[in-house]
Amino acid sequence: MILTVSLNSAFQKVLVFDEYTEGQVLRAREFHQCASGKGINAARAVKILGGEVACCGFSGGMNGALMKDLLKQETLREELSSTATNTRVCLTVVNLKTNLNTELIEPSGKVSGAEVKKFRSTFTKLLKKTKLVALAGTLPPGCPEDIYAELTAEAAKAGITVCADLCGPALLRTFKGKQKPFLVKMNNHEFKETFGERNIKDVITELLACGVKIFAVTFGKDGLVAASEEGLFLAIPPKLTPANTIGAGDSMLGGFCRAITSGCGLEGILRAGTGAAAASALTMLPAHFTREKAAEYSGKTGVKKI
């Protein structure tokens, strides 16, 4: 089983407009909703791609209850720990005329020490049947700053592969212990947030030397650069007109995880992740693509060694 962690989950809403101008009464032509957050989106992608998966983390209040109901309708297994605070809402506003999306994100509610302890207990229990853990997303207020490092260490000590879609201090703390994530993924903006103006090749050399097996940096429609002991690779997705890119990176993480547990090499991992990301970008809701569409775009992805 693949276990994804969603410590900062969200109730996702999408409003679609033919066009809009600020300062007016705006009436949407479409409305969509789903449970979301990086870990939940990644879990959904894994399930679509045929993998056994569960997601854990936090949910609370009316939004959290609705999220759990929606996940039940999707038959997506959740082991989300309840919180006293209401789960945040993330609202995507789609402008069809400009083909631009705007993401409006509510502040996260604070979690308590007791709620963190309950989550940790659930995480430990689920590890017994887990082959791979995916850690993704920001931390809500109240979460210990080193929690991702602790989860990485706990999983790695149990012989479980860890994939991390993290950035900034949350990621850097995972490098301080003996156990490192197997795979680290981030976009180019997160790379600068984490490593400043450092050269990507220098960072790659450093991370592979410290124990990270795969390091990938994404550049949106321009593809991604990834490195492992197999070498440095460039993956270019097929050209497409996206409907909503929110969740595409999470779908890529899900594709990576599914390919890793299937025993794929780096090229296969990159194709699977890029295909899932491209397929997700064509949908209004995050990670609501089909396995067939992901396979189509995986096959159209160009991968070359550089």
With a cut of 90, say whether residue 184 has pLDDT above it: yes
Tens of pLDDT, residue by residue over 82-111, are 999 999 999 999 999 999 999 999 999 999
Per-residue tokens: 185: 């993924």
DSSP collapsed to 3 states, 156-207:
HHCCCEEEEECCHHHHHHHHCCCCCCCEEEEEHHHHHHHHCCCCHHHHHHHH
pLDDT band at 178 (very low <50, low <70, confident <90, very high): confident
Extract the tokens encoding 224: 């991604």
Q: What integer is the mean pLDDT of 60-74? A: 97
> Three-state DSSP class for 299?
helix
Domain coverage including residue 300: 2-305
Q: Buried b vs exposed e over 199-231: b needs ≥16 C-beta within 10 Å?
A: eeeebbeebeeeebbbbbbbebeebbbbbbeee
- Looking at residue 48, its amino acid is I
Judged against a pLDDT cut of 90, whether residue 249 lies above it is answered with yes
Measured in Å, how far apart are the chain's first and last C-alpha atoms? 33
Alpha carbon distances (Å) from 204 to 53, 136, 166, 194, 213: 30, 20, 16, 13, 10
In CATH, what number is assigned to the domain containing residue 139?
A: 3.40.1190.20
Evaluate if residue 156 carries a pLDDT over 90: yes
Average pLDDT over residues 56-62: 97
Give Cα separations from 36 to 51, 66, 219, 306 (angstroms). Answer: 19, 11, 22, 35
What's the total number of domains in the chain?
A: 1
Burial class (CB in 10 A: 0-12, 13-18, 19+), 184: buried
Averaged pLDDT, 197-226: 94
Residue 105 contacts residue 93 (beta carbons within 8 Å):
no
Find out whether 33 and 13 touch, Cβ atoms under 8 Å: yes
pLDDT surpassing 90 at residue 177: no
Using DSSP bridges, classify how beta strands 214-218 and 224-228 pair: parallel, antiparallel or unpaired: antiparallel
Give the C-alpha separation, 125 to 154, whole Å. 12
pLDDT at 176 over 90: no
Instruction: Tell me the pTM.
Output: 0.96
SS3 state at 248 = helix
